[in-house]
């Protein structure tokens, strides 16, 4: 690759190399044999990205040619120019590369020189340039040996190697944060499309200048998002205004001083812009910052200001404690109502058990006692036809039990699900869904366990009563039928004994 070739020849320090986002210019004067250097340089030009175009100026004592591709014709022109000027010792080469952005990817050939450009160029120009080319992410394909580094949305990776792990991670709520910024803040003379998180490094570079640039951009953007208004003054100074309990204007603040506090500044920004009540959080942050000043009247960004923001937020929450408690009480009422319904469902199966016993008693009184003992006798009561009626009643009662159990479980699950949906729909702006689940789920689980226990208990007694009813009727049926057969046999034997007595006389 081009960087390795120049580095191997020791030409990077002696050449004039300037690289920006959209171009690369390399100017060098050489005295080594042209037959060795030029053909190998031509081969290295073949490794340039297909996105980019180039022009190579080859000048020998005022005689120069230009090539713009790696065709055989271009190579022949270089060879002829070398032959025509073979007697000359010194020559000059100027390489210009025009970069093109395709699929959010830009080429980088001399990463260290690119970092020098970022260091010397004004931060507002760099932010403006990146904003113009930025959509959801930005990738830099580096044509030299590096380890991948960057943020969630801006990554540097080695050419012809894929990005490690997943593809670029973009924030799904980027638009929401930029809209929130436009509603609460302003930046003079800049159409901002970037977030501080775009410059929050997840993996650092081996080139410290790049790390400093990312940290500086992260810190400045964090201040821009927190402030009411801000403005770049010159290449290394920045001013911003915060209106809280009082208005504080920090004028001509060096961006390097902000870079030292990038971790805390990003922490404050992330807390204010991520999560609920962002507008209130931004106002709270401004209130705290406006009274946390040093002797010069500038805002102090230290551990104490973060602790003050957190403690003031707790006071803010206490200011809303009344509405919070009202919601909690509403949820408590729903839970109590749910528990009452569960007990009512358990009482339903108990009532069914009572009705079942009442039916059995009615059967015994009306059929067995009245019709049996009073009119036809106990043998008729416990006959096979009455036993068939008893078995039929038992089967119907058992089926009713199964239907009641199934219906109660379905009703309970449906009621529990409906209660949770109603709570989440009505109170999701005050309580998170997880908090509602933490309140409701344990009660539903406990109520379900109670209902299942009661169903199992009442079903046991139900089946026991039915079993005892059938068993007693079967035993009575067998007993009285056998007694009836014994009496019939005795009646048939009595006439024989009378005849025997008459014969003897």
Please spell the DSSP secondary structure of 115-145, one letter per residue.
HHHHHHS-HHHHHHHHHHH-SS-EEEEESS-
Q: Tokens at residue 169, please?
A: 């991670």
CA–CA separation, 432 and 443 (whole Å): 18
Residue 276 clears pLDDT 90, i.e. is over it: no
120 and 80 in a single domain? The answer is: no
What's the average model confidence in pLDDT over 373-394?
Answer: 64
| Residue found under tokens 């406006």 | 290
- Residue 68 is classified by DSSP as -
Q: Judging by DSSP bridges, how do beta strands 53-60 and 63-67 pair with one another?
A: antiparallel
Give whichever of 269-278, 406-415, 462-471 has the largest mean pLDDT.
269-278
For the ranges 79-83, 133-137, 308-312, 343-347, the lowest mean pLDDT is seen at: 343-347
The residue whose two tokens read 């080695």 is 158
Q: How confident is the model at residue 74 (pLDDT cuts 50, 70, 90)?
A: very high
Cα–Cα distance, 72 to 410 (Å, whole number) = 81
Position 106 in a domain = no
Tally of structural domains, the chain: 3
Structure tokens at 227: 């402030």
What tokens appear for 87 in the block? 């007697």
155 & 255 share domain: yes
Clarify whether residues 313 and 351 are in a common domain. no
Residue 94 β-bridge partners: 27, 57
135 plus 271 within the same structural domain = yes
Is residue 31, in this structure, part of any structural domain at all? Answer: yes
Q: Does 105 reside within a domain?
A: no
* Digit-coded pLDDT (tens) for 348-371: 666 766 666 666 667 666 665 555
- Residue-wise pLDDT for 259-274, tens only, equals 889 999 999 999 998 8
Question: What crossing angle do the helices spanning 208-226 and 111-120 adopt, rounded to 10°?
Answer: 40
Averaged pLDDT for residues 407-412: 74
134 and 87 both lie in a single domain: no
- Whether the Cβ atoms of residue 298 and residue 258 lie closer than 8 Å to each other: no
**Long-range interactions of 167-174: CB distance < 8 A, separation 24+:** 168/104, 168/136, 168/137, 168/139, 170/136, 170/137, 171/195, 171/197, 174/136
For residues 106 and 21, the answer to whether their CB atoms sit within 8 Å is: yes
Helix (H) or strand (E) holding 86: none
Q: How much is the pLDDT for 168? A: 45
Starting at the edge strand that comes first in sequence, how are the strands of the sheet with 91-98 ordered?
16-19, 23-30, 91-98, 53-60, 63-67
CATH number of the domain within which 463 lies: 1.20.58
Report residue 496 as tokens: 């024989």
Question: Of 145 and 375, which is predicted with more confidence?
Answer: 145
32 belongs to a structural domain: yes
Domain membership of residue 504 (yes or no) is: no
Q: How far apart are CA 12 and CA 243, in angstroms?
A: 50
pLDDT band at 165 (very low <50, low <70, confident <90, very high): low
Q: Judge contact between 222 and 196, C-beta under 8 A.
A: yes
Q: Return the SS3 of 177.
A: helix
Residue 465 shares a structural domain with residue 330: yes
For residue 62, report the phi and psi dihedrals to the nearest 5 degrees: 90, -15
3-class secondary-structure state, position 171: coil
Q: Which domain holds residue 80?
A: 2-100
Is 492 among the domain residues?
yes
Alpha helix locations (H) across 167-302? 174-184, 208-226, 255-259, 262-273, 278-291
Determine the Cα–Cα distance for residues 331 and 326; give it in Å rounded to an integer: 9
End of a domain among 269, 289, 319?
A: 319
CB count within 10 Å of CB 162 equals 9
Cβ atoms of residues 259 and 238 within 8 Å: no
Tell me which range, 241-250, 304-313, 479-488, is most confidently predicted by mean pLDDT: 241-250
Q: Reduced to 3 states, what is the DSSP secondary structure of residue 413?
A: helix
Instruction: Output DSSP code: residue 193.
Output: -
Residue 400: partners with Cβ closer than 8 Å, 6 or more residues away: 352, 356
Q: Which helix (H) or strand (E) holds 440?
A: helix 433-504
Among candidate residues 71, 100, 129, the one where a domain is terminated: 100
Alpha-carbon distance of 352 to 313, in angstroms, equals 56
Same domain, 96 and 234: no
Lowest mean pLDDT across 6-15, 27-36, 264-273, 416-425: 416-425
pLDDT tens-place string over residues 316-344: 766 555 655 666 666 777 677 767 766 67
pLDDT tens, residue by residue, 186-244: 988 888 889 999 999 999 999 999 999 999 999 999 999 999 999 988 777 889 999 98
Question: Residue 102 pairs with which residues in a beta bridge?
Answer: 105
Q: Which pLDDT does position 478 carry in this prediction?
A: 73
Establish if 483 belongs to a structural domain.
yes
Looking at the structure, tell me whether residues 368 and 288 fall in a common domain.
Answer: no
Average pLDDT over residues 148-174: 75
- Evaluate whether 244 touches 259 at the Cβ level (below 8 Å): no
pLDDT at 498: 46
pLDDT of residue 462: 73
Q: Is residue 211 part of a domain?
A: yes
Output the average pLDDT for the chain: 80
Q: Are residues 228 and 172 in the same domain?
A: yes
Last residue of a domain, one of 291, 319, 347: 319
- Do 357 and 464 reside in the same domain of the chain? yes
> Could you tell me the sign of the dihedral formed by the alpha carbons of 432, 434, 437, 439, in that order?
negative
CA–CA separation, 143 vs 160, rounded Å?
8
- Give the number of residues written for the chain: 505
418 pLDDT above the threshold of 80: no
Same domain, 93 and 232: no
Statement to judge: residues 404 and 489 lie in one domain:
yes
Burial of 304 (0-12, 13-18, 19+ CB in 10 A): exposed
pLDDT at 380: 57
Q: Within the chain, how many helices (H) and strands (E) appear?
A: 15, 13
DSSP 8-state symbol, 58: E
Beta bridge partners of 27: 16, 94
Sheet containing strand 138-142, strands side by side: 105-108, 138-142, 154-158, 149-150
């Amino acid at each position: 690759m081009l960087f390795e070739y120049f580095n191997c020849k020791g030409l990077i320090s002696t050449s004039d190399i300037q690289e920006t986002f959209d171009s690369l210019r390399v100017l060098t004067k050489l005295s080594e044999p042209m037959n060795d250097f030029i053909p190998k340089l031509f081969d290295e030009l073949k490794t340039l990205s297909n996105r980019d175009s180039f022009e190579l100026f080859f000048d020998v004592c005022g005689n120069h040619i230009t090539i713009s591709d790696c065709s055989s014709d271009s190579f022949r022109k270089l060879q002829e120019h070398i032959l025509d000027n073979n007697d000359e010792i010194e020559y000059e080469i100027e390489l210009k590369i025009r970069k093109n952005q395709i699929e959010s990817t830009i080429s980088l050939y001399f990463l260290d020189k690119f970092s020098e450009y970022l260091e010397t160029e004004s931060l507002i120009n760099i932010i403006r340039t990146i904003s113009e080319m930025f959509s959801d992410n930005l990738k830099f394909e580096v044509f030299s040996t590096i380890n991948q580094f960057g943020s969630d949305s801006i990554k540097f990776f080695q050419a012809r190697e894929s990005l490690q792990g997943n593809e670029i991670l973009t924030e799904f709520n980027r638009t929401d944060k930029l809209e929130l910024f436009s509603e609460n803040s302003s930046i003079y003379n800049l159409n901002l499309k970037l977030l501080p998180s775009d410059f929050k490094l997840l993996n650092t570079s081996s080139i410290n200048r790049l790390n400093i640039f990312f940290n500086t951009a992260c810190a400045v953007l964090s201040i821009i998002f927190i402030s009411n208004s801000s403005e770049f003054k010159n290449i290394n100074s920045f001013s911003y205004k915060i209106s809280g309990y009082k208005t504080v204007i920090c004028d001509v603040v060096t961006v390097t001083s902000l870079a030292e506090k990038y971790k805390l500044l990003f922490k404050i920004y992330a807390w204010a812009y991520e999560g609920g009540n962002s507008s209130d959080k931004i106002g709270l942050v401004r209130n705290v910052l406006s009274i946390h000043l040093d002797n010069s009247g500038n805002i102090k960004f230290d551990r104490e200001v973060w602790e003050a923001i957190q403690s003031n937020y707790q006071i803010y929450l206490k200011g809303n404690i009344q509405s919070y408690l009202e919601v909690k009480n509403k949820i408590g009422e729903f839970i109590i109502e749910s528990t009452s319904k569960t007990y009512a469902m358990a009482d339903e199966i108990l009532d069914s058990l009572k009705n079942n016993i009442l039916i059995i008693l009615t059967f015994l009184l009306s059929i067995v006692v009245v019709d049996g003992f009073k009119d036809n006798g106990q043998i008729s009561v416990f006959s096979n036809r009455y036993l068939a009626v008893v078995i039929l009643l038992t089967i119907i009662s058992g089926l009713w039990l199964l239907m009641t159990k199934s219906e109660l479980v379905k009703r309970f699950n449906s009621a529990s699900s409906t209660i949770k949906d109603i709570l989440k729909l009505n109170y999701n702006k005050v309580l998170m869904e997880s908090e509602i689940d933490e309140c409701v789920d344990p009660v539903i689980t406990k109520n379900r366990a109670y209902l299942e226990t009661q169903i199992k208990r009442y079903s046991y007694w139900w089946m026991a009563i039915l079993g005892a009813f059938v068993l007693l009727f079967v035993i009575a049926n067998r007993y009285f039928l056998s007694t009836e057969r014994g009496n019939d046999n005795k009646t048939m034997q009595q006439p024989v004994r009378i005849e025997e007595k008459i014969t003897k006389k």
